[in-house]
Amino acid sequence: MTRARLALVLTISVVTIQLAAQGHGDGYFPPREDWARRNPADVGMDAAKLNEAVEFMKAHETTSPARDFSDQEIVFGKLLGSIPTERAATNGVIIRHGYIVAEFGDTQRPDPTYSVAKSMLSTVAGIALDRGLIPSVDDPVVKLIKDGGYDTPHNRLITWRNHLQQESEWEGEMFGKNANFLGTEAFGRGEMKPRAIQEPGAFYEYNDVRINRFALSLLKVFKKPIPEVFRDEVMNPIGASTTWKWVPYAISYVNIDGKRMASVSGGTRWGGGVWINTLDMARFGLLWLHGGKWGDRQIVSPSYVKMATTPSAHGPDYGFLWWLNTKQSLWPGSPTNAFSARGNGGNIIFIDPSHDLVVVWRWSAQSGEGFRKVVAAITS
């Protein structure tokens, strides 16, 4: 064996050992309708400190949204889709090395997860890119989507990357909501002040109207309802339950090749969105913890996962519809490579690759301190 080849083999061996030590080798992937549990000490966690973290979480439930969702139109404006009559209390699950080490509250109730759906849309976009349905994230969307939504000189410049980083500055209206977020009836307390629109890719703005435009464009790429793509390509392969659903607005139906299909939203700001239980959210988080792989199946390519978890130029530590911890502004005390899917009301999937850790906390308040306490419970 040549010296160069020997060095390569040794390098590969070291990387393999490091990954295994972090829990990223073959790993444990829970089968459908089952999830093995471990005592904290068995997965390198201090039981007393972990219990302290859980008790902290149980004691810190959000007050918004209200349990009966009665505040939604006041906060967000006129609803376009349905909303449940009530939500669960705060609940969560902590996963280390793939195993459940702590669980509290009703983790099997499918509740709206708000903007966690954006990270799910990002996953669908990754699948489209991996399949070649979208040749490049830097292609203008208008090269594929010719429904009039990208015909203006401004909108013609928008790329898939711009949408994924919430830097599209798309101009227009979706399902009766304008992209400028102007109008108290339409947007409630979320109404924005008028401002000058920037060039696509030059300015970050968290904007559900533009995300809904992005979701419609993905629907037209697949020519198949996004919930069905997500079910067939993601949720079924990772063994999720059948209780989750992606609820469209009452008016968000379009014709694709003569077939009536629902275009779904990237959240529950105006009703609808992804309604899902905590354990299914944890499976989704575990998929991303493992770089888009579940068992022997690569569902989303590692290259896309890397792009999606790389900070954008103008966002507040934001990737492709994923929140990052590069600057440790969100999760102080957690590693800089931690990232999360976040939705209104404290619906959060916290993913910490350095510690092989996934935490899902629903309806939470003071989440930064809660996650810090979980990380502090890790001993090895």
- Can you say whether residue 332 is alpha, beta or left, with left for phi > 0 and alpha for psi between -120 and 50 degrees? beta
- Check if the beta carbon of residue 342 is closer than 8 Å to that of residue 324: no
As a whole number of angstroms, the distance between CA 278 and CA 359 comes to: 10
Across the range 310-334, mean pLDDT stands at 93
pLDDT band at 9 (very low <50, low <70, confident <90, very high): very low
Residue 205 is given by DSSP the state -
pTM, to two decimals = 0.93
Q: Cα-Cα-Cα-Cα dihedral of 76, 81, 85, 90, to 10°?
A: -60
As a whole number of angstroms, the distance between CA 271 and CA 77 comes to: 10
Across the range 9-16, mean pLDDT stands at 37
Across the range 44-73, mean pLDDT stands at 97
Going from the N-terminus, what domains does the chain have, and what CATH number goes with each? 22-74+83-112+274-376 (3.40.710), 118-262 (3.40.710.10)
Other beta carbons within 10 angstroms of residue 245's beta carbon come to 15
pLDDT of residue 26: 60
- Check if the beta carbon of residue 82 is closer than 8 Å to that of residue 270: no
Map residue 348 onto helix, strand or coil.
strand
What lies within 8 Å, CB to CB, of 293 at 6+ separation is 287, 299, 302
Across the range 224-253, mean pLDDT stands at 98
Average pLDDT, the chain: 93
As a whole number of angstroms, the distance between CA 99 and CA 11 comes to: 29
User: What are the E-state strand segments in the chain?
Assistant: 91-96, 99-104, 111-112, 173-174, 177-178, 245-247, 253-256, 259-262, 273-276, 293-294, 297-298, 323-324, 339-343, 347-352, 357-362
- Check if the beta carbon of residue 94 is closer than 8 Å to that of residue 102: yes
pLDDT per position as a tens digit, 103-136: 999 999 999 999 999 999 999 999 999 999 999 9
| Residues of the chain above pLDDT 70, percent | 93
pLDDT per position as a tens digit, 325-337: 999 888 888 899 9
Other beta carbons within 10 angstroms of residue 317's beta carbon come to 17
